[in-house]
A and B are shown apart, each in its own frame.
Chain A
Amino acid sequence: MNFSGLINEFGPLTVAGLAQGAIIALFALGYTLVYGVLRLINFAHSEVFLVGTYACLIAWGWFGLDQNSAAPDLGAMLGYMALGLVVAIVASGLVALLVELVAYRPLRRRNAPPLAFLITAIGASLAISETVGVLTHRVQRGVPPIIQAKTVITIGNTHITNLQILIVVLALVMMFVLDRFINGSRLGRGIRAVAQSPDSAALMGVNKSRVISLVFLLGGLMAGIAAVMYDLKIGVTKYDAGFLLGIDAFTAAVLGGIGNLRGALVGGLLLGVLQNYAAGLFGSSWLHGAAFVLLVLILMFRPTGLLGESLGRARA
């Protein structure tokens, strides 16, 4: 217990927590979208994220960038960022679609019990992360310094870097875009319809399979963005990076109310901040333990989360 440490470092811990939480929130969207529509926990979503973290590194590798290369100038930096984001998004989206196609669709056709979905999801998660583990020899891989973290704002002892601002702003923008997409577009209306009642939606002419694929794709896209942000923030990635952050993201989704998009944002930011406080209080090795304890507490006392769980009813 280190209360004075927590109080002295309150500002920095909060800022770090918000940046961490923004990544978690983007990641949590994948869980929440799939849960909102299919009522199942897409356990393999963590590996969708994992593939994203490696995909952008590979793309940067094509241009000879590695962890030791010099920081690029502004124009090149923007180009690299765009490239990394696009590649990560495409890779994560494809993996999400693939998981749906291989692990979920055959079971849905057979009306398998819910536990069967969870088991295939675990299988998919294990297969992907371990394949990455074997291919990378279970060594972590460094990220090239695309963006140099520079302090731009200082309040008291709190230094806010450009990277932290970028992460939070990007997460908020993506959340806004997704929110508009679900609430405003025709495809979004289809998603909400299937979330409310799959069978009625099918009778009204909504293509259920296509909506489900779309939901997985959207989750994958968000995970791809979260993956690039994670790479830039943490500076390394490893084959089990998806798993640990996946638990955090799932906790965030449940905290905000799984199936509720705004809930994922609130839950993500809150969890990020709380985890950092816990790390300040007990030491950084307890960061993930704090998430688990929090998850158990929420599920025991308020299993519907802070904002309630519904994609269909709660206006997304």
Chain B
Amino acid sequence: MSDTAVAPAKEKATFRENGGVRGWFGRQPAWVRWAVMLLFAVLAFLLPYAGDIPVIGPQITTEGIDWPSALFNMSYYVLLALGLNVVVGYAGLLDLGYVGFFAIGAYGTALLTSPDSVLYSHTGWAWLGAAPVALAATMLAGLILGYPTLRLRGDYLAIVTLGFAEIIRIVATNTTTFRGDRGFTNVPHPPGSSGGKPIFGVTDATPYFWLGLVVIILVIFGVRNLDRSRVGRSWLAIREDEEAAEIMGVRTTKFKLWAFSVGAFIGGLGGVLFAGEQGFINSSTFVLQFSILVLAGVVMGGSGNMAGAILGGALISYIPDRLRGISLGGTDLYEYRFAMFGAVIIAIMIVRPQGLIPSRRRAMELKDREKEVAPL
């Protein structure tokens, strides 16, 4: 003991070394953590009134689209980002066809509830009745897509999922049952009324945003509990080294299917909400760029970390909406959104591959690989 060199007594550790904000947060007693989370939730619910704040408010709110609608868009993008984060961030399966599940959720709702649908005479259900059926269909689709494809290598999986989403879009465009571009009209809104007027009306999107927020909070708790359970640990093992995980007795196919169907479920949830708010869907809503945009959000925010996914999902929706109505050289800046996000994806992967709010473990994995680099 005595003859080994004693490390010089350390100065008080800096804030950063103690884990920064998240380290501080983790050391607080439970009630402080709950209070902070509750505060964030309350602030989120108050967002529709952000425009009323003097000076800053008008800078935040959008010009080309009314603010509650922009918020609602944000809420379903955040949902999609949370769902894709389960598939890409937790289980490490690159899914480029995520919009397919969103589409199935939306089409499931529309088929069961819209008067334009062939099923309408049999069902004619309300939005709330159709939602569980549509969600079950999405999860089933997740299993159907997952089962034959999960044995594929990562990059092949990406292309096949992309193909899956395109097939869904092609089927929706070309078959009479799904009505292609004409789409489904009069998809009913969510139920509920106050003072004789329906809560979920046509003019104000605020209630939809609140509904989306409630769903998001439920999803956050659900995913967090899954992540901390045996399922989450299996996902982690699969992401880091699938073969090693398999040897250690993790049933990889089963848990990959879990990831796919949980992701599909959350994506479907986004679709159901979307159909309920818009009241109209057609096949041109579900273009492939949409999947890629959500992927960009997850990667940008920090894949494998829910806070990152939420931030990323909100940004991919907010930035284009904020740019709407601002023109540059005769072209609306909104037009550039996909091009811009394409460039952002590259920049992030090069400069900060772990994302804006990284998952700690993920960042360390990346660092490890960097050490193994062979000189060019």
Question: Are A126 and B292 touching (Cβ within 8 A)?
Answer: yes
Q: A112-B366, A131-B339, A299-B156 are in contact. Are A293 and B167 (CB under 8 A)?
A: yes
Tell yes or no: B369 within 8 A of A by CB.
yes
Within 8 A of B (CB), among A115-142: 115-116, 118-120, 122-128, 130-131, 133-134
Q: A122-B292, A295-B160 are in contact. Are A114 and B342 (CB under 8 A)?
A: no
Tell yes or no: A261 within 8 A of B by CB.
no
- Contact flags B289-311 to A (C-beta < 8 A → 1, else 0): 10010011001000000000000
Within 8 A of A (CB), among B146-172: 148-149, 152, 154-156, 158-160, 162-164, 166-167, 170-171
**Chain B residue at smallest Cβ distance from A110:** B370
Q: A122-B345, A288-B170, A299-B160 are in contact. Are A108 and B339 (CB under 8 A)?
A: no
Question: Interface stretch among A8-16, A99-107, A147-155?
Answer: A99-107
Tell yes or no: B372 within 8 A of A by CB.
yes
Please report the C-alpha to C-alpha distance between residue A70 and residue B346 in the assembled complex, in whole angstroms. 44
Within 8 A of B (CB), among A191-213: 199, 208-209
Please report the C-alpha to C-alpha distance between residue A286 and residue B167 in the assembled complex, in whole angstroms. 9
What chain A residues lie within 8 Å of B335 (beta carbons)?
A: 134
Question: Are B149 and A285 touching (Cβ within 8 A)?
Answer: no
What chain A residues lie within 8 Å of B292 (beta carbons)?
A: 122, 126
Q: What is the number of contacts between chain A and chain B, taking CB atoms within 8 Å? A: 135
Within 8 A of A (CB), among B252-302: 288-289, 292, 295-296, 299
Of A126, A209, A286, A288, which one neighbours B289 at CB under 8 angstroms? A126
What chain A residues lie within 8 Å of B340 (beta carbons)?
A: 127
**Chain B residue at smallest Cβ distance from A122:** B292
Tell yes or no: A234 within 8 A of B by CB.
no
Of B92, B156, B349, B370, which one neighbours A111 at CB under 8 angstroms? B370
What chain B residues lie within 8 Å of A254 (beta carbons)?
A: 156
Of B166, B174, B343, B373, which one neighbours A292 at CB under 8 angstroms? B166
Question: Are B163 and A112 touching (Cβ within 8 A)?
Answer: no
Tell yes or no: A41 within 8 A of B by CB.
yes
Question: Are B158 and A286 touching (Cβ within 8 A)?
Answer: no
Q: A126-B341, A134-B331, A134-B336 are in contact. Are A118 and B155 (CB under 8 A)?
A: yes
Question: Are A119 and B152 touching (Cβ within 8 A)?
Answer: no
Q: A112-B349, A209-B376, A295-B159 are in contact. Are A119 and B299 (CB under 8 A)?
A: yes
Question: Are A127 and B339 touching (Cβ within 8 A)?
Answer: yes
Of B171, B336, B370, which one neighbours A130 at CB under 8 angstroms? B336
Measured CB to CB, the closest approach of chain B to A165, in angstroms, equals 32
| Residue among A124, A286, A299 with most chain B CB within 10 A | A299
Please report the C-alpha to C-alpha distance between residue A247 and residue B170 in the assembled complex, in whole angstroms. 14
- Contact flags B316-344 to A (C-beta < 8 A → 1, else 0): 00000000000000010001101111111
**Chain B residue at smallest Cβ distance from A212:** B376
**Chain A residue at smallest Cβ distance from B173:** A285
Tell yes or no: B353 within 8 A of A by CB.
yes
Question: Are A106 and B342 touching (Cβ within 8 A)?
Answer: no
Tell yes or no: B1 within 8 A of A by CB.
no
Question: Are A120 and B339 touching (Cβ within 8 A)?
Answer: no
Tell yes or no: A40 within 8 A of B by CB.
yes
Of B94, B156, B162, B366, which one neighbours A303 at CB under 8 angstroms? B156
What chain B residues lie within 8 Å of A126 (beta carbons)?
A: 289, 292, 338-339, 341-342, 345
Question: Are A115 and B339 touching (Cβ within 8 A)?
Answer: no
What chain B residues lie within 8 Å of A283 (beta carbons)?
A: 174
What chain B residues lie within 8 Å of A27 (beta carbons)?
A: none
Please report the C-alpha to C-alpha distance between residue A130 and residue B335 in the assembled complex, in whole angstroms. 9
Please report the C-alpha to C-alpha distance between residue A243 and residue B376 in the assembled complex, in whole angstroms. 32
Measured CB to CB, the closest approach of chain B to A99, in angstroms, equals 10
Question: Are A108 and B166 touching (Cβ within 8 A)?
Answer: no
Tell yes or no: B96 within 8 A of A by CB.
yes
- Contact flags B339-375 to A (C-beta < 8 A → 1, else 0): 1111111100110010000000000011001101110
Measured CB to CB, the closest approach of chain A to B15, in angstroms, equals 28
Please report the C-alpha to C-alpha distance between residue A303 and residue B344 in the assembled complex, in whole angstroms. 33
Question: Are B170 and A119 touching (Cβ within 8 A)?
Answer: no
Measured CB to CB, the closest approach of chain A to B176, in angstroms, equals 12
What chain B residues lie within 8 Å of A119 (beta carbons)?
A: 94, 295, 299, 345, 349
Measured CB to CB, the closest approach of chain A to B333, in angstroms, equals 10
Tell yes or no: A173 within 8 A of B by CB.
no
Tell yes or no: A186 within 8 A of B by CB.
no
**Chain B residue at smallest Cβ distance from A294:** B163
Tell yes or no: A5 within 8 A of B by CB.
no
Measured CB to CB, the closest approach of chain B to A198, in angstroms, equals 8
What chain B residues lie within 8 Å of A7 (beta carbons)?
A: none
Q: A118-B158, A285-B174, A293-B167 are in contact. Are A107 and B339 (CB under 8 A)?
A: no
Please report the C-alpha to C-alpha distance between residue A307 and residue B154 in the assembled complex, in whole angstroms. 22
Tell yes or no: A296 within 8 A of B by CB.
yes
Tell yes or no: A80 within 8 A of B by CB.
no
Measured CB to CB, the closest approach of chain A to B164, in angstroms, equals 8
What chain A residues lie within 8 Å of B373 (beta carbons)?
A: 109-111
Q: A199-B374, A296-B148 are in contact. Are A130 and B339 (CB under 8 A)?
A: yes
What chain B residues lie within 8 Å of A75 (beta carbons)?
A: none
Could you jot down 9 A-B contacts, CB within 8 Å?
A111-B373, A118-B158, A122-B345, A125-B342, A131-B339, A243-B288, A247-B166, A296-B163, A300-B149
7 more contacts with CB within 8 A, not counting A130-B336, A283-B174, A292-B164, are A108-B376, A118-B154, A119-B299, A124-B346, A130-B289, A209-B376, A300-B149
Q: Which 6 A-B pairs have the closest CB atoms?
A: A127-B342, A123-B345, A126-B342, A130-B339, A292-B163, A111-B373
